[in-house]
Chain A
Amino acid sequence: MKQLHELTIKEVHDGYLNKDFTCVDLVRHFHNRIEKYNPKLNIYLALNDNALTEAEAVDKEIAEKGITRPLLGIPFAIKDNFLTVGITTTASSNILKDYHPQYNSTVIEKIKNAGAIILGKTNMDSFAHGSSTETSDFGPTLNPWNPDKLPGGSSGGSAAATAAQLATVALGSETAGSIRQPAAWCGVTGLKPTYGRASRYGVIAMASSTDSPGPIGKSVEDCALVTEVISGKDPQDATTSPSPVEKYTESLYAADLRGIRIGIVKEYLLTEMREDVKNLILNAADKLRLLGATVEEVSLMDPHYSIGVYTVIQRSEVSSNLARFDGIRFGHERDTFCEETKRRIMLGTYTLSAGYYDAFYKKAQAVRTKIVDEFNEIFKTYDAIIGAVSPGPAHSLGATKNQPMFGEMEDVLLEPSSIAGLTSVGVPCGFVDNLPIGLQVTSNQLKESTAIKIADCFQRHTQFQLFPDLDKTI
């Protein structure tokens, strides 16, 4: 029988209804695990002091009404850039050390209204500036599969919390890879919704034109469930889409993938990519064919172009978004920004300066439009495209030292889809060097259902969604 920390959302609910355990039991169980493993892994930065009280209320509600809310009594790990009233929110930066938010982000309100219990806030790259959690002012998080390795980032804490099973499910946010890449490096499942599908209100901004909140979970099913809850038009976020939210859970449990057309992107099998990683992707393509999908090689613009586009746009927006931390109001001076953040502010300030704007920002936007057009063209024929999430498995601690472009190089296969605001699911597709490798299934804007259907079917017919035994790995 599975242990409490191993259960998916549906399994937790079944357990509640069968009275196998209570919500208080579950929260206590996670508290024990956090106490045991967190000091080593450095996943949680702050815990919710009210979690047990909330769990008691959940047990009472279940006794009275059963389970009428989709996330009732589900313990969550939350990336520390989501504002949470009552729990400090720092974006892993000293400039917001001990910051107590005055309001909840919309997404937090939504999961709370759905009955979720927040266990605590997870480590991340400072202001999400990175793909390793090494830029956190509070030290890196370690990869639960191998503590010498990085968990990826920027949602490294949330991915590690899911892999280490220190929460049932987690929330992360992705600007370009920040959900899918740490999920891949930690061997769990991550879903990046379409830009504008889930509200950014109350999420500390990184790059406003690509930030997308989304779940990291034990399965595509859990991710679909959470995405259904957090999605939708938010009157507080003008960039959210008014289209109705589909029932993503209805795309689960497809018997096969007949009729689905998938493109495997030639250019995403980079020349510098390890042969064993490449093979895992090609194997995944074969598996999808076996499931009935048509998988054909397609060609897209060299993804390296996206690095330039993304770097310019993101740094520009960062330099602007961080101006509000002006040293007057949040208790700490601007020199408390970490090195990486300062570097990004400098570069972004430069690219927006008079005389350089046209050469950098405007040009980048023009190429961005080209990338969007190219995807639109591809999605006329294909339901999804696939490729590796990262060129390789998790890097070792310290890998980002003197590598200011580390994140961009690692996220080269994710940046085109982020720039275009697409939706994408990252699922484990095998291991190299005893470290997990992720497959991305990317669909057009607002086609979450399609990506979910493919990724879910793949996951149910493979055995790659595994979890490390922490007593052995760390």
Chain B
Amino acid sequence: MKATPLIGLEVHVELETKSKMFCGCPADHFGKDPNTLTCPVCLGLPGALPVPNEKAIESCLKIGLALNCHINSLSKFDRKQYFYPDLAKGYQISQYDQPFCSDGFVMLDSGKRIGIERVHMEEDTGKLQHIELEGEKVSLVDFNRSGVPLVEIVSRPDLSSSAEAKEYLKKIHEIIRAIDVSNADMEKGQMRLEPTVNVCIEDESGTHYTPLSEIKNINSFNFASQAIDFEIARQIDEFNKTGTEKTAANKTTRGYDAVKKITFLQRTKEEAKDYRYFPEPDIPPFILENELIEKLKGELPQLPEQIIAGLVDLGIETKYAKIIQSNDEMLAIIEKYKGDKDIDLNKLGSLLANKKIGTKGDIKGEYQKATRVGNTNADELKVVVKKIIADNPSIVAEYKKGKTNVLGFFVGQAMKETKGQADPKTLSEILLSLLAGKISF
């Protein structure tokens, strides 16, 4: 039997715009007193109308562009209708069949392309708080988050392991931060994850697909990874027991219990909602001109992948390039010395990435000192070795009793002391001489 997981991810990202998606209220809702950032629009009062935040739409388009998406020249908002006390208007303004961006991809390190089906714009809901107030259990609604811009990134089910899913998520996270549309702080709920999982099982009877399950609202990469692993195992197990295969009607929604590390059933397709999508009549459709798209492309900073590729082109090994990419100071150093004939960029990269040299002060001096091949200055080495011998009289005694294998200890210490720059041959000569008393202390 061969089992191949098919994993897709929906990622919600809260944008860090100044104001909310459809009104002028501040979008920075985290940790604010309840219902202090509201107005008729985000409270859904009678007569209030949404006016789209252009900045947020630009951020959504930037995310799409950074994820190699096609930007749809004609786009619109739709109403997604359902009842919930934290949904002020009784519908969420979202995008249904004409999202701003579609058909992009993220490239994993292995070279595997993970398809992005769509990137669309919507508004966040309020938040419910279930608490006890004056001895009574009550549910309170805080509308501060109502109307905060959200971008939803929907992947194709191209991921085939929790490790791939995690890598994909990390890349999305990096990109969102790199293009500066959100901090994507998981702890603040600025990035929320929903994996959809099923498994393709091939055995002697043929190819079978297990029923899809969507795992809701996960707020850490590790939980996502654990939930996916649990779900894969659960589905295979269930298939072996029941033989139930995927149909159009048996998709389920599951939650993840991070304490018990299990997923649990929330609802089945029969209970699934009919959202009665229809075009939002309060907002005219958008015609996105090429000019705007080109302008936004121009505003995009280099993405992590592109920076790494650039570093590799300079001769730096990928493993170092990845570390340097995420550190602005290291990047600046590489940038500064990239034309310098005295410097081997891969060596400099390796030193920086391994923190063999710092990022402040005389970088070139430090580099030269660190890369001097074989520190053969016998006088300097002698000082080092003398100190080691003086500091370790018991080991010297052992050596003198004939345990010559402790020699390795002294070599190791000396190498450590000289940051690996000592010429081994010179070092062992000095060491043997000193231990034999041929050189005086």
Give residues in A with beta carbon < 8 Å to B.
83, 89, 91, 96, 99, 101-103, 105, 200-205, 207-209, 235-239, 316-317, 319-320, 322-324, 326, 328, 349, 352-354, 357, 361
Q: Who on chain A is nearest to B274 by CB?
A: A354
Partner of B276, one of A91, A202, A204, A349: A349
The contact sample of 15 A-B pairs, CB cut-off 8 A, is A83-B46, A103-B40, A201-B48, A202-B40, A235-B51, A237-B51, A237-B282, A238-B52, A238-B284, A239-B282, A239-B284, A319-B276, A326-B83, A352-B276, A354-B274
Bound form: Cα–Cα A240–B282 in Å: 10
Interface residues of B (CB under 8 A from A): 40, 44-52, 79, 81, 83, 85, 88-91, 274, 276-278, 281-284
**Nearest A residue (CB) for B283:** A238
A91 to B88 alpha-carbon distance, docked (Å): 19
Across the interface, A238 reaches (CB within 8 A) one of B45, B51, B85, B274, namely B51
Q: How far is the CA of A104 from the CA of B184 in the complex (A)?
A: 38
State the majority secondary structure of interface residues on A.
loop
B85: chain A residues within 8 A (beta carbon): 326, 328
Contact A353:B49 (CB < 8 A) given known A102-B40, A238-B284, A323-B83: no
B96 to chain A, nearest CB (A): 10
Extra contacts besides A202-B40, A353-B274 (6): CB < 8 Å: A202-B47, A238-B282, A323-B83, A326-B85, A352-B276, A352-B277
Instruction: Provide the residues of chain B in CB contact with A201, threshold 8 Å.
Output: 47-49
Chain B residues whose CB sits within 8 angstroms of the CB of A105 once the complex forms: 47
Q: How far is the CA of A205 from the CA of B83 in the complex (A)?
A: 19
Query: A349-B276, A353-B276 are known contacts. Are A102 and B45 too (CB-CB below 8 A)?
Result: yes
Tell me the complex Cα distance, A308–B48, Å.
Answer: 28
B147 to chain A, nearest CB (A): 13
Instruction: Return chain A residues, CB-CB under 8 Å to B79.
Output: 320
Cβ contact within 8 Å between B90 and A323:
yes
> Is the beta-carbon distance between B46 and A204 smaller than 8 angstroms?
yes
What residues of chain A lie closer than 8 Å to B284, measured between beta carbons?
238-239
Q: A209 to B81, alpha carbons, bound, how many Å?
A: 18
Q: How far is the CA of A76 from the CA of B278 in the complex (A)?
A: 37
Task: Kindly state the separation between the CA atoms of A83 and B46 in the bound complex, as whole angstroms.
Answer: 8
- Decide: A202 and B90 in contact? CB cutoff 8 A: no
Given contacts A204-B46, A236-B51, A239-B282, contact A324 B89 (CB under 8 A): yes
Closest Cβ of chain A to B122, distance in Å, is 16
Q: Can you name the residue of chain B whose Cβ is closest to the Cβ of A89?
A: B46
B142 to chain A, nearest CB (A): 14
- Kindly list chain B residues whose C-beta atoms are within 8 Å of the C-beta of A320: 79, 81, 90-91, 276, 278
On whether the beta carbons of B47 and A352 are closer than 8 Å, the reply is no
Q: Are A208 and B278 in contact (CB under 8 A)?
A: no
The one of A96, A316, A317, A326 in contact with B46, judged by C-beta atoms closer than 8 angstroms, is: A96
| Cβ-closest chain B residue relative to A237 | B49
**Are B89 and A317 interface neighbours, CB within 8 A?**
no
Q: How far is the CB of B280 from chain A (nearest CB, A)?
A: 8
B47 touches A208 (CB 8 A): no
A202 and B282 in contact (CB under 8 A), knowing A324-B89, A352-B276?
A: no
**B278 pairs with A316, CB closer than 8 A:** yes
Q: Which of B52, B79, B83, B278 is packed against the most chain A CB atoms within 10 Å?
A: B278
Give chain A nearest CB distance to B42 CB in angstroms.
12
Q: Report B253 CB to chain A, min CB distance, Å.
A: 17
Complex interface: chain B residues within 8 A of A207 (CB): 281
Q: A238 and B49: CB pair below 8 A?
A: yes
Which 9 pairs from chain A and chain B are nearest by CB? Answer: A323-B90, A208-B281, A352-B276, A209-B281, A202-B47, A324-B44, A204-B46, A354-B274, A238-B51
- Complex-state Cα separation, A246 to B50, whole angstroms: 27
Chain A residues with Cβ below 8 Å from B281 are: 207-209, 239, 317
> How far is the CB of B279 from the nearest CB of chain A, in Å?
8
What's the minimum C-beta distance from A88 to chain B, rounded to whole angstroms?
A: 12
When C-beta atoms are compared, the residue in chain A nearest to B139 turns out to be A328
Q: Which one of B40, B46, B50, B90 has the highest number of Cβ atoms from chain A below 10 Å of its Cβ?
A: B46
- On whether A323 and B278 interact (CB within 8 A), knowing A202-B47, A238-B49, A238-B284, the answer reads no
In angstroms, Cα B389 to Cα A136, docked, is 102
A323–B278 alpha-carbon span in the complex (Å) = 14
Chain A residues with Cβ under 8 A from B52's Cβ? Answer: 238
Whether B47 and A324, one on each chain, are in contact in the complex, defined by CB atoms closer than 8 angstroms, is: no
A105 CA to B47 CA in the complex, in Å? 8
Between B44, B51, B89, B284, the greatest number of chain A beta carbons within 10 A of the residue's beta carbon is seen for B51
The reply to whether B89 and A204 form a contact with Cβ atoms under 8 Å apart is no
CA–CA, A352 and B277, complex, Å: 7
For B51, list chain A residues within 8 Å (CB).
235-238
Minimum distance in angstroms from A367 CB to a CB of chain B: 16
Which residues on B sit within 8 Å (CB–CB) of A326?
Answer: 83, 85, 90
What is the chain B residue whose CB lies nearest that of A104? B47
Assuming the contacts A102-B40, A200-B49, A235-B51, asked whether A324 and B283 have C-beta atoms less than 8 A apart, the reply is: no
Cα distance A208–B317 when bound, in Å? 59
B45 contacts across to A, CB distance below 8 A: 101-103, 324
Q: How distant is the Cα of A209 from the Cα of B52 in the complex, in angstroms?
A: 17
The answer to whether A238 and B47 touch across the interface, beta carbons within 8 angstroms, is no
Q: Are A236 and B278 closer than 8 Å at their CB atoms?
A: no
Least CB distance, B126 to chain A, in whole angstroms = 11
